[in-house]
Every structure is written in C-alpha cells, then in structure tokens.
Amino acid sequence: MSKKIYNYFSKYEPDSMTPNIKILWKNAKGINIWDHKNRKYIDFTSSIFVTNIGHGNKNLNNEIQKTLRTPLSHTYIYYNNPRKEYIKKLIKFINNKKLNCCFLVSAGTESVEAAVKLMRLNGLKRNKEKKGIISLKGNWHGRTMAAQMLSDDKNQSLWINKDRNFYHIDFPYPWSKDYDKKTFFKKSIEKRFGKKFNYKKKIAGFVIEAFQGWGALFYPKNFIIELKRFCKKYNILLTIDEMQSGFYRTGKKFAYEYYGFTPDLVCMGKAMGSGLPLSGVVTSKKIIGVEHAKLQSTHSANPMSCTAGIATINELKKLNKNNKLKKTCEVFEERLENLRRKHNNVIDFISGKGMIGAIIFKRKNKLSSKKVADKVSFNCLKKGLLVVNTGRESIKLGPPLIITESQLKNSFKIIDEAIKEL
C-alpha cells in the first residue's frame, strides 16, 4: 500500500487490528485477491473464515442480483420470502431436532448477546438468582458488552463495569503441567467457586468456543464429558460459539459434531453469509420462546443477506458432494503435519481439524515465539500468501474450502520457504 493511501486510513479510522496488514484490496476471485497494483495473493485466511465458498462465487452473485432487481433490500420486522426460505433451509441443513428455531442478526457478536439473554431469561424463570454465566479463560466471543465480558481480558476493567455474574475458569491446555484429564474440570470449577457454591440456583449458562481461536485448539474428550455432566446436573444451558468453525470449516457442518452431543444453543456467523452480514443463534422452540426475550434487530433477516445465506448452503452442499471436501481436508491436514515434522526445531506443535489449522512456534535464537510468528507471517505476505497472525506465538491457516490439492501444495510450499528464511 502506498504511504499516501495508508496515511488516509490512519487519519480517519483506528488501526484496530493487530497487526493491520497494509494491503489495499482491488479485486478477489476464488482463493485469490489482488491489490491496487494488481499484485496477486493467495487468501489463506478466507477473510477471517468468511469466504468458505471462495471470493466472487458466481451463483452467489447471481442470486444477490435477483434480489436487487426486486428491489427488496430491507423489510425490518416484516416477513419476506428470502427470510422464510433461508430459515427453512438453515434448519434443514442443521438437521437436529433439538435445534429447530433461530433468530437472525447481522454480526456474530450480536448472536452471542442474544444467546446470553436467552440463557439468563431461561435461568431466571427457574430461580430469580439463576443468572450466572460461565466461560473459559482465553476464549473470544466478540466486541459487544456481554460478549466481551465472556472473555477474560483484564484490560476490560478500564471501561467495563464488569457484571459479577460472569465467571471464568481455566482452559484445558493438554500440554500444561496442571492438566489431568480425570480431575481438571472439577478442580477448575472448585478453584473459581469453592466447594459450597450452589450452581443449580445461580448458574444459568455455560459458553464455549467450538475451539479456542488463537490456536484452533479443540477440547480434550474428558473435558467435554465432564462439562456435559456438569451442565446436565445443574440445569445449565450450554452454548457453543461456532463463529469460526461453522459451515464445514472443520470438515463437518459444525464442530460440535466432533464432541458427540448437541448443545442447547449454537451461535453462528462469518461464513454464514459469505461476506454479507448474517449471523444467528439457533436453539429450541422452548428456549427461544421464553417470556420477555423480545429478540429484535433493525437489520435482522434482511432479504439480501438471507439470499446470500441460501446460496451459501447450496454451494456448500455441492462442494461436499462425493466426499470431495473430506479429501481436500485430508490433504490440508497432511501438509500441515509435514511442516511440523520438517521444522520441529521451530514449530512447537500444530492443531486444528479439517480446513482450519494453527502453527504454534517456539523461540528461535534471540527471537521470541511471538516474533517468530510475526516474521513467518511477514515472509508469507512477501511471497504472496495471506495468513492469520494471531498477535501471539501462532499463525492460523484457513483457505476457502474450494481450494484444490495442487493449490494447497503450492501454498504450503510458500509457508515452508517462509519458515526456512527465519
């Protein structure tokens, strides 16, 4: 990006992302984007896991054009046909009797806010003190008030008068010396609440990411087993945030399928609208119909976004036909593992499933693990590959699901070269 263009942006908007990649996008197609000087890049981020069906999908664009010609771009709370068709298609796509109702909004953080509201109202229906929400340290759920209170960020105290009914327990890092699969969950709970806390009376909900974002870290099996038991024992609603993981990103429709159970609420977004603002919370009729919920949003279920949602599901179904997606995911996982074996002097470990992966780095000479991640990310950028720099000791990889095996081979070759140049 030219200095002139960058200065313009820095003058009028905050440099809020860390790090803010100074590329001015001009065009995008498939797995590629082009900057204002027509330099080509492979998008190994899917625009932060939004463009699962690729950039500029022809069928998606055609359907949006049809809606534009109506013209029907906004209806507020009034019914419209794209809204009806999308809700119908989404529920059928999920195909789970426990998840048969939804509320559509624009951003992922809005769906989390709605989920917190529903969990609390359902809890208060049982007991006037049952409004506590538990989440995990290090997880991230968005930038609105309740969503940020779910995250254990100490800097929040600078501007948020934190709700004392939000609680955080330790994340189960399997490599940690404190981790014991048989006792970790119980000890984490007792560490935060003591042994005499009345969970049944005071805790309404438990919120987790499908995997912890910074490292695409899935939960150990035993942790999930104990979490489910805990929620069932004390009548606690369990919400899974599938923002990054939904719509086949992990190789399955939704990542909760790996854990072998159905959550009470699912928050989804990002890839849901393939670039158009679309998100939602999906749950049961009983939970969503709780008194005083009054779920409303100005842009909820606008026709344009719903049309994009319909086209997205259609394209994903085609992509998953004949196990095509499964095969591509296997190649992705294999290439990631090859990198780990080849560069075990600098790669601490890898994690992820399907078409989401993370490389967690070690120190190298005088470079901290974070500096190593920064340098690898920058080296990839120079070579025409965009990866997600998490701002800590890892990079995340998540190309559009339409990527071919040969394109994967070429992309991982770039990462290999980027690591070699450390």
Q: What span, in angstroms and rounded, lies between the C-alpha atoms of 373 and 146? A: 31
> Do 326 and 302 have their domain in common?
no
Neighbour count for residue 11 (Cβ, 10 Å): 7
Global pTM value: 0.94
Per-residue pLDDT of the chain (422 residues; tens, 9 = 90+): 667 777 777 778 776 665 567 788 899 999 999 999 999 999 999 999 999 999 999 999 999 999 989 888 888 878 889 999 999 999 999 999 999 999 999 999 999 999 999 999 999 999 999 999 999 999 999 988 888 899 887 777 677 777 889 999 999 988 888 888 889 999 999 999 999 999 999 999 999 999 998 899 999 999 999 999 999 999 999 999 999 999 999 999 999 999 999 999 999 999 999 999 999 999 999 999 998 888 888 888 999 999 999 999 999 999 998 888 999 999 999 999 999 999 999 999 999 999 999 999 999 988 999 999 999 999 999 999 999 999 899 999 999 999 999 999 999 999 999 999 99
- Pick the last residue of a domain from 289, 319, 349: 319
The confidence score (pLDDT) of residue 13 equals: 77
Domain harbouring 338, CATH code = 3.90.1150.10
Q: Is residue 44 part of a domain?
A: no
Asked whether residue 46 is assigned to any structural domain, the reply reads no
Residues 156, 16 share a domain: no
Would you say residue 290 lies in a domain? yes
Structural domains of the chain, count: 3
- 69 plus 29 within the same structural domain: no
pLDDT at 175: 82
* Contact indicator for 122, 287 with CB cutoff of 8 Å: yes
218 and 361 share a domain?
Answer: no
* Residue 150 sits in the same domain as residue 280: yes
The residue out of 278, 304, 319 marking a domain boundary is 319
User: Which contiguous run of DSSP H or E holds residue 68?
Assistant: helix 58-68
Same domain for 118 and 158, yes or no, is yes
- Is residue 148 domain-shared with residue 253, that is, in the same domain? yes
Residues 207 and 298 in one domain: yes
Rounded to 5 degrees, what are φ and ψ at 354? 65, -125
- 194 assigned to some structural domain: yes
Judgement on whether residues 169 and 32 belong to the same structural domain of the protein: no
Distance of alpha carbon 227 from its chain centroid, rounded? 20
What pLDDT sits at residue 340?
97
Domain that holds residue 421: 322-422
**What's the pLDDT at 16?**
65
Half-sphere exposure of 413 (CA within 13 A, CB side): 6
pLDDT at res. 19: 58
One domain, residues 216 and 235: yes
Q: Are residues 122 and 228 in the same domain?
A: yes
For residue 263, being part of any structural domain is answered with yes
CATH number where 87 lies: 3.40.640.10
Of the candidates 288, 259, 253, 296, the residue with the CA atom closest to the CA atom of residue 105: 296
The answer to whether residue 58 sits within a structural domain is no
Q: Is residue 225 part of a domain?
A: yes
**Predicted local confidence at residue 157, as pLDDT:** 65
Listed in sequence order, the residues at least 6 apart from 411 whose beta carbon sits closer than 8 Å to its beta carbon are 42, 44, 385, 399, 403
Does a structural domain hold residue 21? yes
Domain identity same for 26 and 163: no
* Predicted local distance difference test score (pLDDT) of residue 2: 63
- Which of 287, 319, 351 delimits the end of a domain? 319
Q: What is the pLDDT of residue 311?
A: 98
